[in-house]
Structure 1
Amino acid sequence: MSVGAMGVFDRRLLLAVDARGYGSADTARQREIQTVLPRLLSEAAEAAGLDRASWVRQLAGDSEFAVLPAGSDEQALVEPFMRRLDAGLRAHNRDRVPGARLALRAAVHFGPASEAPSGFVGPGPVEVSRILESDPLRRALAGAPDAALAVALTAPVFTELVAQGYTNFRPEEFREVVVEKKEYRGRAWLWVPGYDVHALDLGAVESGSGTDSGSGSGAGSGSGSGSGSAAGSAAGTPETAAPAAPAAGGGDSATTNLYGTVINGNVVFGISK
């Protein structure tokens, strides 16, 4: 097999999670988050039939970046894992006052990621990290006071799994948004369990509907098959237009992929320096 200067090209399933309010929490609360978060992720993985021991993980106190092995079950991570994680968070929060409840943001991507001396490099880790830290995802969780989880899927994951019917999600359960974070610009599809994500106030967030939708699609995975795989919103702003169910196929808009070092606080997050 011919190998270029960058080594073996590989696409991986990537997961990034982060706990809300960790920086403002006291020492006891931070310790609790560091203890509870790995347990809830492990329980969700086990329930979804995923071998978490095989994941390459980078921990940062209130967050985790994980690269799953080649061939991992994307459907299992997108649906049963997330549903079980939400259930675990709600069980943990049941008898707690609002200020002591644990809430997570999570992002899932399938894209290029190659091993390097200090982690993984490539556009995949950059994209999932930028989306995890994006304003739309943060606002979605903040705007849903009783929610324990807010999930963002990147274009390849949404258009090729959810929009094609490979999960039990309805595409209209997701809301397509434009993500602009530092030098990154792309699209993501948001889901907040227990909430109509289209009704949440995300501030001045541009949806993917209308301008770049081609034949009714959102930011697809580049397959050019003309799907309606946007979060199903009709032309107009997401606050004023009702979502329409996507048609079959992938989208035809492009997402910018970037290489670099992603830093979350004082921690290098998922990408080698």
Structure 2
Amino acid sequence: MTEQFPSPVHHDDIITRHLCMAADVEKYSRLDTPVQEAVQADLVRVLEEAAVLSGLDRTDWHRQPQGDQEFAVLPLETPEPMVLGGFVRNLAVRLGERNANTAESGRMRLRLAIDFGVARTAALGHSGPAPVSVARYLNAPQLKQVLEGMESTDLALIVSDRVYQDVVRLRGEGQSLDPRRYLRVHVSQKEFSGYGWIHVPEHAPEELEPLVEEPPSGTEAPVTAPAPTHVVKRNKGGVFHFGSGDAARRINKKP
């Protein structure tokens, strides 16, 4: 007898928009199996702790674990400013506390992407434009470059232009959101193209800009040139230090 599985229920007459979020662990595939298992457990734990500290209930989130990554569709009534404000700040703190007691080789660093739009439950997870756009933002080269280049941080966030304009630009209703601390980038991934805004807690956009700069049109980035171990870029606002080769290669030096 063939086992019958129920088909997903589609409500074509109801369009619901949700806040969608994805968190991904940097360089997870380089870890051995026992460390991967520990990192997965710690990822769930820090997300849970950040939610509790922010007054959010993760038991109501529709979560879709994917090994080194978790995608979640949040309930309709979720306060968006609370997610972008308190949750992001608390997540950065919990990551820092976790990594302070961990060897550098076991350090856990996250990319976080957030968008708002149509998302529905499907047979293998979720369908709709919002889950797709969150995946594209999460894998944006600029976000990866920022996290790789800024060794002093454990969290890099990107939000869609829609979320930035509707929530961040209006300063988040008491959540102390500062639109001046976000850097706009253009994301082009597969068939997706749109603007996103990158934010790294405790860091200004001026520190992120050298990490996302593209080489001038018609020029090629050097492939074999050695990367400096320490580069200093001076701006009007102060002195910014970059120890990453990626950052160093993107700084236009004066002769």
Where on the TM-score scale, by shorter chain, does this alignment land: which range?
A: 0.7 to 0.9
- Larger helix proportion, structure 1 or 2? 2
Gaps of 5+ in 2: 1-9, 216-232, 238-255
Q: What TM-score, normalized by structure 1, do the two folds share? A: 0.71
Asked whether 1:126 is paired with 2:135, we answer no
Match of 1:177 among 158, 177, 185: 185
Partner of 2:54: 48
Could you tell me how far apart the structure 2 residues matched to 1:203 and 1:190 are?
10
Partner of 2:168: 162
Using the aligned pairs only, state the percent identity.
34
Partner of 2:150: 144
The number of residue pairs the alignment matches comes to 208
Root-mean-square deviation (CA, aligned residues, Å) is: 2.3
Partner of 1:229: none
Partner of 1:257: none
Determine if contact 2:119/2:126 at 8 Å carries over to the other structure.
yes
Gaps of 5+ in 1: 207-238, 244-273
Match of 1:196 among 195, 201, 204: 204
Partner of 1:232: none
Matched residue type, 1:107: A
Asked whether 1:93 is paired with 2:110, we answer no
Matched residue type, 2:84: V
Q: Which has the larger radius of gyration?
A: 2
Could you tell me how far apart the structure 2 residues matched to 1:242 and 1:161 are?
29
Could you tell me how far apart the structure 2 residues matched to 1:52 and 1:154 are?
22
Determine if contact 1:178/1:205 at 8 Å carries over to the other structure.
no
Query: Is the partner of 1:158 in helix, strand or coil?
Result: helix
Could you tell me how far apart the structure 1 residues matched to 2:116 and 2:143 are?
18
Partner of 1:251: none
Q: Deviations over 1:213-248 (max 9, x none)?
A: xxxxxxxxxxxxxxxxxxxxxxxxxx9x999xxxxx
- Alpha-carbon offset, residue 177 of structure 1: 0.3
Q: What TM-score, normalized by structure 2, do the two folds share? A: 0.76
Matched residue type, 1:169: L
Determine if contact 2:186/2:193 at 8 Å carries over to the other structure.
yes
Query: Is the partner of 2:27 in helix, strand or coil?
Result: coil
